Structure 1
Amino acid sequence: MDTTEKHSSIMAIRSAERPGEYLLYHDTRWDCDFFPNHDTQGTAEMEKPNLKSWLVRDFSAPENLALSFITETSSMKPSLSHNSEMREYDYRLWLVDVDSLPDAWKSDTFTINGRNCRWESIPGMEANPRIMQVNQDVVSMVKDSIH
């Protein structure tokens, strides 16, 4: 059994302008909507400025976003892209609060830098069979840690 680890930082992006909803993007490789995520690099404190820059650059997030480290957790699950081999996924969860949404983010769905994005609630994610098949552990982590 291959238990290759994948280390990811998960961004739970929310705004008071969209209460109870989080920003998701559609990953065409997985055909699934995900929280924005980035490969984890270094300690949380070392990683924080790089994540902020990445969100501003790749998602056109406002520069005054508030980024807070919440928790780290691991999950063992079959990797759908690796013939269902069991893999260990290490997640670092970050809460991203955006005071004022950029104009491009104000619609229910929008495209930023080629990424199709949308806003969704935790119950909406839980009602989506594809999200739950691929990413139930991450949705549960956000629900239990933030929501």
Structure 2
Amino acid sequence: MDINKLNEIAHNHSIILIKDSFQKFPNRFLVYDDKRWGCKLFLNYKDNFNNEDFIKKHLSGDLKIELEDIKLSYLGQRIHEKYSESAKKRKVYCHKFYIADIKKFPDKIKQDSFEIDGKEYQWLSMPELETDKDVQKKNYDMVRFVKELV
């Protein structure tokens, strides 16, 4: 079945997980408020041929972090079908998961919530993501995948 779905894939995305490793006991992930989906999502980029330099460059620009302070580790991938809130139809996705280790977090990013270039970010724990009604309805599969991978 997965092999058949590979032929249908038009939507490749890299999902970037960032933990609050600046805390003594890191237990939260960085998410942002996606206006098109109407819920909180993990950072993500349309896949550019699995190019880690592409991802690091965008993370650096989006979060105002020095490029050399970002280390990416590949965790795995999932192929699955889900409803796209922005397109209002079911799509087949190939999501590649990475964890980003940030050496130096700017003070602004250490806040529970913050805004950069008009995008609202927040640090949330797995239980908070699991109980968020919008995340449950629109993106719970991603939360489940992350729990399996980390």
Q: How many residues align?
A: 140
Q: Which moved more, 1:12-21 or 1:105-114?
A: 12-21
Report what 2:137 is aligned to. Answer: 133
List structure 1 segments (4+ residues) > 4 angstroms apart after TM superposition. none
Say yes or no: does 1:78 pair with 2:57.
no
Q: What are the within-5 Å matches in structure 2 for residues 71-110 of structure 1?
A: 71-83=76-88, 85-110=89-114
Q: Is the 8 A contact 1:15 1:101 kept in 2?
A: no
Q: Aligned match of 1:38 in 42, 45, 59?
A: 45
Q: Which amino acid aligns with 1:37?
A: N
What is the one-letter code of the residue matched to 1:66?
Answer: K
The equivalent of 1:49 in structure 2 is 53
Measured after TM superposition, the shift of residue 99 of structure 1 is 3.1
Structure 1 residue aligned with 2:27 = 20
5+ unaligned residues in a row in structure 2: which ranges?
1-7
TM-score, normalization: structure 2? 0.86
Identical-pair percentage: 27
Contact kept, 8 Å, 2:32 with 2:120, in 1: the verdict is: yes
Provide structure 1 residue ranges, at least 5 long, that are not aligned to the other structure. Answer: none
